[in-house]
Amino acid sequence: MSTSSPTPLRRVVAASMIGTTIEWYDFFLYGSAAALVFNKLFFPSFDPLVGTLLAFATYAVGFVARPLGGIVFGHYGDRIGRKRLLMLSLVIMGIATILIGLLPTYAQVGVWAPVGLIVLRLVQGFAVGGEWGGAVLMAAEHGDAARRGFWASWPQAGVAAGSLLSAGMLAIMAAAMSEAEFLAWGWRVPFLLSAVLVVVGWYIRHRVAESPMFQAALAEADELPKLPAMEVIRERPLAILLGSGLRVGENISYYILTVFSLTYLVDVAAETRGLALEALLIGAAVQFFAIPLLALLSDRIGRRPVYAFGAFGLAGFIFAFFPLLASGDARWIVAALVAGLFFHAAMYGPQAAFITELFPTRIRYSGVSIAYQLTSIVAGSLAPIVALWLYSEYGSATPVALYVGAACIISGVSALLAKETRGANLEAIR
């Protein structure tokens, strides 16, 4: 296989981050819409909380497809390269998101509306399942060992940027029109705008060369791994277990902070949709800058202490989070989301490098994808549903806080049990 000219690292990082921003904009747009719109348009015959629960159920199926996407994309990413798979994931995600924006509602086609929603959400999940591993590896494998945490964190920052962009678009549409107009057609605009973003992302990613580390490993290999996923499970079971443990608290807490909090603010605390989205916007903006800074700190003092700080810090703060949301004071609501997402950033910033450094190059795409995406089935996918059920069952947010706190403790312990990988030589990992 011929090698292409190396791409400047900053362009690689920019391409990884921009592509990830677009894909997660699409993915999070669905989550925000599920909390604010889909219960009324696709499940209108139910009580508002029940309708939201059903909307979150369609939201959850996207997470079920993520491990499958991770396995399939990881399989081919370890065999033919990172770049082509990243291009494909971007196109698949864009098409699914545009079609969601064109879906008829329950009032127009009945039960076929939520069925279409579920199918397209599965496609979204499949695409995003392959996105993360490839984007992170392109940045990590092009970068240097001394600042790998920093460089690999920019695709992670792209996730925060995607959340910021999706919440921002919905906030703009909600503020610019009446609720009737927003429900009639305004909510569709952010989904349809994905077409423009995909074209931009495709152009930028097309200009980036394949990972030189992958090309070198491919040239040295006697044969390609036949089933990379099976080889990862056989050779690196502890790495998968630790990677999944790192993800549990981080994944659950993120969707409580960014999805369930919207429902809690609007349906429980009786705050306006505008205030909820604006508070989330501010929190996501702070997190966008916190992620690379905390990742840079992990390059200086280690992945383990930074990650453990975020996990244990959020395990404690979550008990103050819901009282702050219910305070009725916009300043405390914003402060709650900013603080919660800062603690989350302490986990999410170092995470890309931390998990990448657990696997060898020849099966790394499969390894990081499985470790990252496997947890999503029982963590992120169910988090808003579990939280909503706990609140409905007990009439209090304390059980939700206990749920999030326990998950974060698992991640904190996993960080302390993992081997410190700061500065690891990726090419030497066998």
Domains, the chain, with CATH or none:
9-422 (1.20.1250.20)
* pLDDT, tens digit (0-9, with 9 covering 90-100), for 228-255: 889 999 999 999 999 999 999 999 999 8
What does the alpha-carbon distance between residue 69 and residue 163 come to, in Å, rounded to a whole number? 21
Query: d(Cα 186, Cα 183) in Å, to the nearest integer?
Result: 6
* Highest mean predicted confidence (pLDDT) among 1-5, 168-172, 306-310, 365-369: 306-310
Q: What is the pLDDT of residue 2?
A: 42
Q: In Å, how far are 23, 295, 418, 420 from 305, measured between CA atoms?
A: 30, 11, 11, 9
Residue 264 neighbours by CB under 8 Å, 6+ apart = 322, 325, 391, 397
Question: If pLDDT is split at 50, 70 and 90, which confidence band does 48 have?
Answer: low
User: What would the two tokens of residue 158 be?
Assistant: 């792209």
Say what the pLDDT of residue 51 is: 67
Rounded Cα–Cα distance for residues 260 and 263 (Å): 5
Report the predicted TM-score, pTM, of the whole model to 2 decimal places: 0.84
Mean pLDDT value across residues 256-280 = 88
Mean pLDDT across the chain, nearest whole number?
87
pLDDT, position 186 = 85
Q: Do residues 114 and 183 touch, judged by C-beta distance below 8 A?
A: no
132, 161, 165, 199: which is closest to 366 by C-alpha?
132
Cβ-contact 103, 159 below 8 angstroms: no
Phi-psi label, residue 423: left if phi above 0, alpha if psi -120 to 50, beta otherwise: left
Burial group, residue 395, by CB count within 10 angstroms (0-12, 13-18, 19+): exposed
Give the whole-number percent of the chain exceeding pLDDT 70: 95
pLDDT at 258 over 90: no
Q: What is the DSSP string of 137-181?
A: HHHHHHS-GGGHHHHHHHHHHHHHHHHHHHHHHHHHHHHHS-HHH
Structure tokens at 127: 């695409």
- If pLDDT is split at 50, 70 and 90, which confidence band does 293 have? very high
Distance CA 342, CA 60 (A): 25
Question: What distance in Å separates the CA atoms of residue 257 and residue 334, rounded to the nearest whole number?
Answer: 12
